[in-house]
Structure 1
């Protein structure tokens, strides 16, 4: 008799079909579009480029989505095969603006050269970063995921206010009201019984929000017909990259931050979709980012990394398929080749993105809190590790100028709340949970302050008449019951005298 084949398909390997891949992939593109175009806009303006050249920078950044489309299938050692979307990283904006604004050698070409050189160095050191997974238990990953969500909330707030802080209507009730309407639409569509509508709630809410904005005169599509319909990014349009030591050194620090943040995003999405992420998959994902970052400057783009915004979209929709985000990468390539389509998406009011962003980024934080609920807080200082790491990550958000007087390399690393909390969580976890020499048996008021609970398994091991006396457990006949140390260092009664323990 033939043994039936049992499938062990990973959740990320599910292929939903062309139609669903296109719909959910477009939703990913809309979510990340504002973040992608913001980086070339900021750097292009700082470099004094013309509007036409800035438009080419935007097209190049969209075209870099080819890296995302190629990485998700996971060819050889490039790509972690997870539903992560790759795009231009925000981490290097301050450093690249400083390079083009310093008046030194190279200018914009120096930025491109520094990105290529630093990304090559990052590619060479990925084996080191790929072996840190054992230092990312739920304690650390929960902290990082929570911080990612909290760090992105100011972005959602700025979007809801209109996006451009110099605009006269920035923060107006009209903008915030439009964001609120979009938020309400997301919630209402999520409540509808249809699974398809619920999963597309973000996309549908943005479409309806944009239609409302058109009727209210808050959306301008007049520029959609202006400009070419088709255009291919020209290699080295901005000149050949130049290589200068100071610029490369600064970008190396940015690449280190990018590797930390991408590692956190890869582990976060693995936790959200419930799949295993080992050192091999982590290394493959990091190599994909570094390889894309090396080739992006050829067309005029910058460092690439996994987009934290889209981690939230995965958590909200529950769509775990990597083919969805690969399709989104193809959309980005098409948008890079069709400036017309790019102008259509660019016309979506920023306030609409802000309303959806509140749900997206809040969901990331909620996923982190759910992960932290799995942490054992008994007789240890895990509570203070969580408190200190999240607090440390919130410093750049609460006080953006906090690190202005620190050395530039230090400020570059810790100006990101995500990398700040990740570094602090890793260091504290190593100090208290791995380097246990000198740890007290009764570890501080933070351990004592945690809620006192007993597990059902502990109670199930007890019998009628068992009692505690002088710190020892005795049975009904007065005989002492041995107490063993659990794997977490917590005393547990030996159940040898009782019935076999039942796992609940």
Structure 2
């Protein structure tokens, strides 16, 4: 029998090839990358300009001041996206996540403005709170072990459902004060755009189906332009080129109360970004551990700390773009990097931003229905992996979803609570995340011993399965019940996905349970690896 040996150079080559095998590391042609990147930009453009519009008006800025805020947010969002997707040591999750100004801080920033501090106080609170967040980010990332599928599925579903009002608002016209808000015309434009997305998605040409969102937005905009429902007359109002001026609104000022309030926003941003990182990891089908989450959170906080210098606010991942990754199937992080470059250019060339801003909001609304619905569907798919028998996972999902939806269907629900509490609970995503993590702790961790978890050989729902040898014998003797979809073939258990369920000793069983509780086991492949290490 001959044995082949690899040279060190071949070993290094294999290691490189193994590393590049991650789905998110795929490199597409430059033209395709920028086309898909533009689709990402169009998807989140309405969201990234909404915050500077709200804050600019609250601060009493004129048109030029608001324009400067918008350009600054585009510029910083692009840089933050590049950092998050490309990554450098300790910074960036290296996932296809688009960054932009977080909605979580709007209420806090408007309250700071109402207190008379002005934009310098807002920028000062963002800067200090983000620096503190940068320091504590690694510690926060350790909670990844408390995000099994029962938690992540609930949060992802809530993200999609909580974004539906945004899509509905866009479909109605975007501006609630406008005379045609909610008109039949606006809604029909959104429905037509939605129909175009669905039709293009069915065309058996990969390029067309993957770019269905972008093409539908272009076609919808051209249609509106033909009928006189799109206005491109103000594209040049902000000039051709403008570099964001550092501290354009004055040097930041610092208030302890403002900083504390903003740090609460940072905690909320941590929860939302962690959920988005895990969500896109599920969609891309790549490993996400506490180290990767910590790098993603550090990138968030570094970008947020630099943002006030260039007149922008806290940065976070955009959930709507997670939906775009799911619906297009384009998992390359370098596509998002291209989108980040486009955002930087838009921040430097207001004329290009004006073109994108001229896309009718109802057109974005039609595309948003598909995108946000896809996020919710991804969460439901994750929840389908969860085991609901012999535990309280059904209660965790039910109560957490309810808490996440309450502030969406009744925005004034927490108005009587202290502002610090309201900042957190007014976000459906934050409410669902906090409740899901808390209930999972109470029902699946605190006071639950490993031996109490072995009722049906599930240690953490959705992370993989093992079965002890004595249990296997009971199954073969027809003294125990198989899972739904399980079959016995040649003396082995095969689950509903066609994967063999490993048979382990009591010692191996305990080790797998402990590893799962630490977040080290998240798939059946991880289970097999751990067993192999134990046997060796």
Equivalent-residue separation in structure 2 for 1:204 and 1:2 (angstroms)? 51
Partner of 1:19: 31
Does the 8 A contact of 1:461 with 1:499 survive in 2? no
Partner of 2:507: none
Question: Is 1:185 aligned to residue 176 of structure 2?
Answer: no
Equivalent-residue separation in structure 2 for 1:353 and 1:307 (angstroms)? 15
Q: 1:228, CA displacement in angstroms?
A: 1.1
Of 79, 84, 87, the residue aligned with 1:74 is 87
Q: 1:227, CA displacement in angstroms?
A: 3.3
**Secondary structure at the residue paired with 2:238?**
coil
Equivalent-residue separation in structure 2 for 1:54 and 1:425 (angstroms)? 38
Equivalent-residue separation in structure 1 for 2:58 and 2:490 (angstroms)? 73
Q: 1:462, CA displacement in angstroms?
A: 5.6
Unaligned runs of 5+ in 1: 443-454, 468-472, 474-482
Question: Is 1:151 aligned to residue 162 of structure 2?
Answer: yes
Equivalent-residue separation in structure 1 for 2:373 and 2:361 (angstroms)? 18
Q: What aligned pairs does 1:189-204 form with structure 2 within 5 A after superposition?
A: 189-204=200-215
Q: 1:437, CA displacement in angstroms?
A: 4.8
Write out the 4+ residue segments of structure 1 that deviate beyond 6 Å after TM superposition. 457-461
Q: 1:299, CA displacement in angstroms?
A: 1.1
1:415-449 CA-to-partner distances (Å, cap 9, x unmatched) read: 1000100000000001001124599x99xxxxxxx
Of 91, 113, 116, the residue aligned with 1:100 is 113
Does the 8 A contact of 1:293 with 1:303 survive in 2? yes
Of 38, 51, 61, the residue aligned with 2:50 is 38
Question: Is 1:410 aligned to residue 421 of structure 2?
Answer: yes
**Secondary structure at the residue paired with 1:427?**
helix
Equivalent-residue separation in structure 2 for 1:79 and 1:223 (angstroms)? 37
Change (3 A) 1:213 1:499: closer
Partner of 2:68: 56
Partner of 1:308: 319
Question: Is 1:247 aligned to residue 238 of structure 2?
Answer: no
Does the 8 A contact of 1:143 with 1:421 survive in 2? yes
Partner of 2:457: none
Judge which range, 141-150 or 216-225, deviates more: 216-225
Does the 8 A contact of 2:120 with 2:253 survive in 1? yes
Does the 8 A contact of 2:64 with 2:238 survive in 1? no
Q: 1:275, CA displacement in angstroms?
A: 0.3
Q: 1:499, CA displacement in angstroms?
A: 5.6
Q: 1:460, CA displacement in angstroms?
A: 11
Question: Is 1:322 aligned to residue 345 of structure 2?
Answer: no
**Secondary structure at the residue paired with 1:92?**
helix
Does the 8 A contact of 1:12 with 1:82 survive in 2? yes
Q: 1:461, CA displacement in angstroms?
A: 7.6
* RMSD between superposed Cα atoms in Å: 2.5
Equivalent-residue separation in structure 2 for 1:306 and 1:499 (angstroms)? 48
Does the 8 A contact of 1:461 with 1:501 survive in 2? no
Q: 1:217, CA displacement in angstroms?
A: 1.3
Partner of 2:492: 501
Q: TM-score under structure 1 normalisation?
A: 0.88
1:286-311 CA-to-partner distances (Å, cap 9, x unmatched) read: 00000000011111100000000100
Of 323, 334, 354, the residue aligned with 2:345 is 334
Q: 1:500, CA displacement in angstroms?
A: 2.8
Partner of 2:280: 269
**Secondary structure at the residue paired with 1:222?**
coil
Partner of 2:391: 380
Does the 8 A contact of 2:97 with 2:317 survive in 1? yes
1:313-355 CA-to-partner distances (Å, cap 9, x unmatched) read: 0010011001000110000000000000000000000000000
Of 165, 170, 173, the residue aligned with 2:181 is 170
Equivalent-residue separation in structure 2 for 1:160 and 1:28 (angstroms)? 19
Of 296, 302, 305, the residue aligned with 1:291 is 302
Unaligned runs of 5+ in 2: 454-465, 499-536
Q: 1:2, CA displacement in angstroms?
A: 7.5
Higher helix proportion (structure 1 or 2): 2
Partner of 1:448: none
Q: 1:174, CA displacement in angstroms?
A: 0.5
